[in-house]
Structure 1
Amino acid sequence: MKRHLWMALAGASTSVAGAAAAIAQPIVIINYRPPETVQKVAIPVNPAEKRLRVLIISGQNSYEHDWTGMNNMLRTLMQESGRFDVRVTEDFDHGTLAMLKSYDVVLLNYSSRWNYADAEQHLWSDEAFKALYQYVREGGGLVAYHSSFTWGRDIPEYKRLVGAVMQPGSSRRAPPGSFPIHIIDKSHPITAGMRDYIWTFNDDMYTNMSIDPEAKIHVLATARDAAADYAPKLMSNKYDPAAYTPEKLKAMKGIDADHPQLWTADYGKGRVFSMTVGHDEVSLHFSGLQDMMLRGTEWAATGKVTLPLHEDSRDDGRR
C-alpha cells in the first residue's frame, strides 16, 4: 500500500492552520515520573547460537515513558524468543557506521525531548545521524518504536526514515487507553495469520501524524479515532472534557477515521518496521503486541518471518 492510501487513511495535509491549531488536543505538562517496575534481567546468550543481533538505541525519552524498564523488557522478550541476541546503548551521541554494522537490526526507543512540545531537545551528532541513515540505506534493518515518532519533525531525513512523526498542533494522542487494532494486511509476513483485532491497554493511539511525502509506506494495521470514545466516562482524568464537546469533536481533523499504527517501508536497501503502539510494559504483556514486535524485528533484519504466533493472537476463524 503506497503513500496515497496512507493519506486516505490519515489525511494528506501536514500543515497547521489557525483553525486547526485552535482545536488541537491540549499538550499537558504535569509533575510525573514513570513508576518503577520489577522485571527479570536478560542473561547473556551463547555466541555459538548465531542469533540475529539487535541493538536498542535509547538513552533519553519523554517523562511519560519508562524507557529503562522497557529496554530491559524488550531485551528479555527478544532473547527468550530464541531468535535474537540483544544489546542496549544509552549513548549514541557519536555512534558510527562500524558500530551499527555489527548488528542485523537496530531498534529505536528514543525521544529527544522530555515533553514532545519542548523546544529544547537532545540530539545525536551529525555523524551519528549519517551513520544511522547509511546503515539502513545499505541494507540494515530498523525498528522504530512508539516514542520514536514523538520527535524528528524538524529533521527531514529522520522523518523520511521512520515514515511519519507527531506534530504538535495537529497530531494528537487519542484519550482512550484501550482500543482495537485492525489488521488490514493479513498477507504480510509480520501480520499473516493474526486475528483482526488485538486489544491494548493504557496505550497511545497516534492520530494525524505528519507523513513524509517521500516515504514508501505499506500500512499493516490501523486504529479508529471514534468520537464516541471521547465520552467523559471513558476518558482519562488527564484530559479536560470541556476540550472534547460534541461541537469540538466534530471540528477535529481525523475524527471518526482510521489512522495507521503499524507500517513497513523501504529505505534504500534497508527494511523499516514502524510500530506506534506499546506505550509501556503493560501493553507489551499482550501477546498480540509481543508478536508484532518480535515478528517485525525479524522481518526488518531478514525480510522473512519464522517466529510463530501466540495462540491467542491467531485468527482461528471464530472472531
Structure 2
Amino acid sequence: MTTWIKAALAIGTAAVATAVIAQPIVTINYRPPETVQRVGIPVNPAEKRVRVLIISGQNSYEHDWTGVNNMLRTMMQDTGRFDVRVTEDFDHGDLATLKSYDVVLLNYSSRWNYADPTQHVWSDAAFQALYQYVREGGGLVAYHSSFTWGRDIPEYRKLVGAVMIPGESRRAPPGSFPIRLVDRTHPITAGLREVIWTYNDDMYTNMRMDPDAHIHVLATARDASADYAPKLMSNKYDPAAYAPDKLKAMKGIDADHPQLWTADYGKGRVFAITVGHDEVSLHFPGLQSLIMRGTEWAATGKVTLPIPDEARDDGKR
C-alpha cells in the first residue's frame, strides 16, 4: 500500500474518533433540466464489441441519471468498441445475467439525498452476484454517485474502494476544477494530458478509503481553501459555512484527493471515477476519454481506443 494511501487511511481513522467539521449537507429545490439527446441505436451482434451493462434505476435528486445513462450509451457505442445495455431494475439481479457482459458500469445511488436514513438497496442475492461476477474476472466501472452510498455495506465499500461519509466527506464548492493525472503510464492514462478539466462537476473530498481495497490512484484534485472565497463559490452554498476559521478546521483542506483509481477485486479489474456528474460534464473530451478508456481497460485489461485531439498530450505543454 502506498504512503499516500496509508496517510489517507490514517486521516479516515482519526475522523471516526474526532468530530469533523465538513461541508453542510445542502438540500435545495432542484431537478436536472430537461435535455434532448440522441438515442443510441442497437448494434449488430456480428461486430462482437465489448459488452457493457449499465446498472441504474435510482439516484440522488441532483443527478440526471436517465440522461447520463443515455449519453454514456450513445458515446460508448459511437466509438465502435462497445455494445451497451441499461437495466433500471437490479433488485434481484443474478450471476447468469451479469456473465453475459464483459464489464458492468454502476450509475446508482440508494438514497434521494445521500444523508437520508432510508435507502433502497438490492437484494442480498443481487449483491452476492455482483461480487462473484467481479471476483471471477468481470470488469467493473464505479461511476460518480457509486461512492455516495454503501458506507454501511462492508463488501460494497471494498469493491468500489471508497465512500462518502456524511459529516466527514464533502463536495467541494467549485463547479469547475482540474484533475491531475499522477500516473501517466497506466494504459488508461497513457498519452493523455497531465491536467484534465471538468465542468459542472463534483470534487469528492475526504472520502473514506477502504483499508482492504487494493487501490492504485491515477488522478487527484486539490481541495484548495482559496477556491472557497465567496466571489468564486456558487450561490448554492452559504459563505458563512466557509469562514477562514472554519476552513482551517476542515480535514483535508489544501490537500490532494483521489478522483480516479484502479483496484483488483479477485480476478476482476475495477476502474473508479468520481467525476461525471451530468450530461454537461460529459461533453468534455478529456473526461469522455477517461471514461471510455477506463471502461475498455476494466473489460479487457488493455486500451485500444484513440485519444481525441483536445485530450492528447502533444509534448508541447
Q: How does 1:62-211 map to 2 (within 5 A)?
A: 62-211=60-209
Cα distance in 1, alignment partners of residues 132 and 51 from structure 2: 18
**Pair 1:199–1:9, CA change in 2 (3 A):** farther
> What is residue 13 of structure 1 aligned with on the other side?
12
Q: 1:268 aligns with which of 253, 256, 266?
A: 266
Q: Is the 8 A contact 1:261 1:275 kept in 2?
A: yes
Partner of residue 214 from structure 2, selected from 181, 195, 216: 216
Quick one: structure 1 residues 105 and 52, their matched pair in 2 at CA, closer, same or farther if it must change by over 3 Å? same
Tell me the alpha carbon deviations over residues 245-277 of structure 1, each in whole angstroms, 9 at most, x when there is no partner.
111111110000000000000000000000000
2:224 to 223, 226, 244: 226
Query: How much has 1:6 moved relative to structure 2?
Result: 2.4
Q: How many residues align?
A: 316
| Cα offsets for 1:254-310 (capped at 9, x unmatched) | 000000000000000000000000101111100000000000000000000000111
Letter in 2 for 1:177: G
Contact 2:192–2:312 (Cα < 8 Å) also in 1: yes
Q: 1:283 aligns with which of 274, 277, 281?
A: 281
Give the counterpart letter for 1:147 in structure 2. S
**Percent of matched pairs sharing the same residue:** 80
Q: Equivalent residue for 1:314?
A: 312
RMSD: 1.1
Partner-residue secondary structure (3-state), 1:185: coil
> Bigger CA drift: 128-137 or 8-17?
8-17
Normalization by structure 1: what TM-score?
A: 0.97
- Any gaps of 5 or more consecutive residues in structure 1? none
Asked whether the 8 Å contact 2:8–2:209 carries over to 1, the reply is: no
Unaligned 5+ segments in structure 2 are none
Deviation at 1:196, TM superposition (A): 1.1
Corresponding residue number in structure 2 for 1:47: 45
Give per-residue Cα distances to partners, 1:85-105, cap 9 Å, x unaligned. Answer: 000000000000000000000
Q: Distance in 2 between matches of 1:198 and 1:211?
A: 23
Kept in 2, the 8 Å contact 1:174–1:205? The answer is yes
CA gap of 1:54–1:271, structure 2 versus 1, over 3 A, is same
Aligned to 2:242: 244
Deviations 1:149-175 (CA, angstroms, capped at 9, x unpaired): 000000000000000000001000000
In structure 2, C-alpha distance between the alignment counterparts of 1:76 and 1:199, rounded to whole Å: 22
TM-score, with length taken from structure 2: 0.98
CA shift digits 1:184-236 (9 cap, x unpaired): 00100000011111111110000000111000000000000000000001111
Aligned to 1:37: 35
The equivalent position to 2:293 in structure 1, one of 279, 292, 295, is 295
Where has structure 1 moved over 6 Å in runs of 4 or more? none
- Taking structure 1 as reference, are residues 10 and 242 closer, same or farther at Cα in structure 2, changes over 3 Å only? farther
